[in-house]
Homo-oligomer: A and B are copies of this chain.
Amino acid sequence: MLPGMTTRGYHHGDLRRALLDAAVQAIEESGPAALSLRDLARRAGVSHAAPAHHFGDKAGLLTALAVEGYDRLADELGGAGDDLLEVGVAYVRFAVDHRAHFEVMFQPDLYRGDDAEVRAARDRAHAVLRGGLAALPAAAPDRDALAAWSIVHGFATLWLAGALPPEAGRDPEQTARAVIRRLFE
């Protein structure tokens, strides 16, 4: 066996990635609460000690997913420029494309929300979201930020839950754009 390789031939960093990917798949199927490290090892086809070696425990694994999720969210919101409408649509797109990350991020009981990396990534995402609001004439910036966050988060959550009626259409970004516009009328 080469140095840095595991029994299955993963490089160390690749094994971590493989475990995170297996966790995403498991969470998409059954949600984060049902996840176990043992099940994860089985899915990734590695020794059952491997997840604990990389993440310590289940909360450690979900903390890593939360960090990754907030980092990606900040990147995607940042990529939408300073148009609040597009920032909101990017938020919904992130939730739809990364539903496992999104689900974990907003269940802070399941991970270590006060972890320094989580806090840094979360603060970055919040800052980008608020940056999108700066272009608005706002009498009450805190309240307006909360309204914008609520409307995109609520839409994304209802969409992911399959709770919306047929008239909501089939394209989440298109419907989200119409819904968010309601804030500017």
Q: Which residues of B contact A107 (CB under 8 A)?
A: 31, 161
List, sorted by A's number, 10 A–B pairs whose CB atoms are closer than 8 Å.
A31-B107, A126-B165, A142-B168, A143-B178, A146-B155, A147-B151, A150-B179, A154-B154, A154-B155, A154-B157
Question: Oligomeric state, in number of copies?
Answer: 2
The A150-166 residues at the B interface (CB cut-off 8 A) are 150-158, 161-165
Q: Do most interface residues of chain A lie in helix, strand or loop, or is the interface mixed? A: helix
Interface residues of A (CB under 8 A from B): 30-31, 33-34, 106-109, 113, 126, 140, 142-144, 146-147, 149-158, 161-165, 167-168, 175, 178-179, 182-183
Residues in B with CB closer than 8 Å to A143 are 178-179, 182
Q: Top 9 closest A-B pairs, CB basis? A: A154-B154, A33-B33, A150-B154, A153-B154, A147-B182, A150-B155, A151-B151, A106-B161, A147-B179
In the bound assembly, the distance between CA atoms of A8 and B160 in angstroms comes to 42
- Of chain B, the residue at the smallest CB distance from A167 is B142
Given A150-B158, A157-B157, 11 other A-B contacts at CB below 8 A? Answer: A31-B107, A106-B163, A109-B162, A113-B162, A146-B179, A147-B151, A147-B182, A150-B150, A150-B154, A154-B157, A182-B183
Tell whether A146 pairs with B168 under 8 Å between CB atoms, given A33-B30, A154-B151, A183-B183: yes
Q: With A168-B146, A182-B143 in contact, do A157 and B106 touch (Cβ < 8 Å)?
A: yes
Which chain B residues border A167 with CB–CB below 8 Å?
142
A154 touches B149 (CB 8 A): yes
Docked complex Cα distance between A173 and B153 (Å): 18
Q: What's the Cα separation between A179 and B31 when bound, in Å?
A: 30
